[in-house]
Amino acid sequence: MADVYREPTPDQLQDLHDAVVDALTALADQISIPHGGRLDVDPDPASGMTHPMNTAEWQLAMLRALREVEPLTQVLGDRWARTAGIMGATYTQLGDAAGITRQAATKRWPGAVPPKDASPVDIETAGGTARVFYDQASGTWAWIGQGANGTSAESEDDAGHGTSEAAAAAAGAFLASNTTTDEKE
């Protein structure tokens, strides 16, 4: 497999670590309430005041700030893994970049890498038509169709199918249940 990026240098990693700590420190400074509830603590050592960092309150504020980092990295990781998959990356490449195995990448980001044959399939049965297609946004297979009776429907947003066969079966069931119009007497 060809290299697709360079590993960061120790200096680049240190710069990243410093930037993250600086951002967390800034947030902790903003949200901490120094010992005694004083919001006007002067962090200037020449003033004789102690920096709020030297209080339990500031340390707790830092822990609160840290609570935001992990979920953010998960959201960003999901976004960039799916984007890389859409752009042609493999699960092996996603795993390598994330420091996990291909199998773990497949489990963490199901549907991020489109199937090799994601061509839409048209179905004509029971007098109606449907199209089964791979939905990149959800990483699942979906369908849209119109029954012989003129009723139109599609996969529900939260009910994507893991395979094209499952989506085709759902589309077929819809077409079979919409073969005739109900006549009003």
Residue stretches of the chain with pLDDT short of 50: 183-185
Tokens of 114: 């489109």
Beta-bridged to residue 121, according to DSSP, are 132
Q: Which amino acid is at 5?
A: Y
**Which tens digit of pLDDT belongs to each residue from 122-146?**
999 999 999 998 877 677 888 999 9
What pLDDT does residue 124 have?
93
What is the per-residue pLDDT for 79? 93
pLDDT at 185: 43
Residue with tokens 């139109």: 152
Please tell me the distance from the alpha carbon of residue 141 to that of residue 111, in angstroms, as a whole number. 9
3-state secondary structure the chain: CCCCCCCCCHHHHHHHHHHHHHHHHHHHHHHCCCHHHCCCCCCCHHHCCCCHHHCHHHHHHHHHHHCCHHHHHHHHHHHHHHHHHHCCCCHHHHHHHHCCCHHHHHHHCCCCCCCCCCCCEEEEECCEEEEEEEECCCCEEEEEEECCCCCEEECCCCCCECCHHHHHHHHHHHHHCCCCCCCCC
CB 29 within 8 A of CB 42: no
Residue 105, pLDDT score: 94
Given the structure tokens 């960092």, which residue do they identify?
53
Question: Residue 50 CB: number of other CB atoms within 10 A?
Answer: 14
Please count the other Cβ atoms lying within 10 Å of the Cβ belonging to residue 49: 14
Both tokens of 123, joined, read: 């179905």
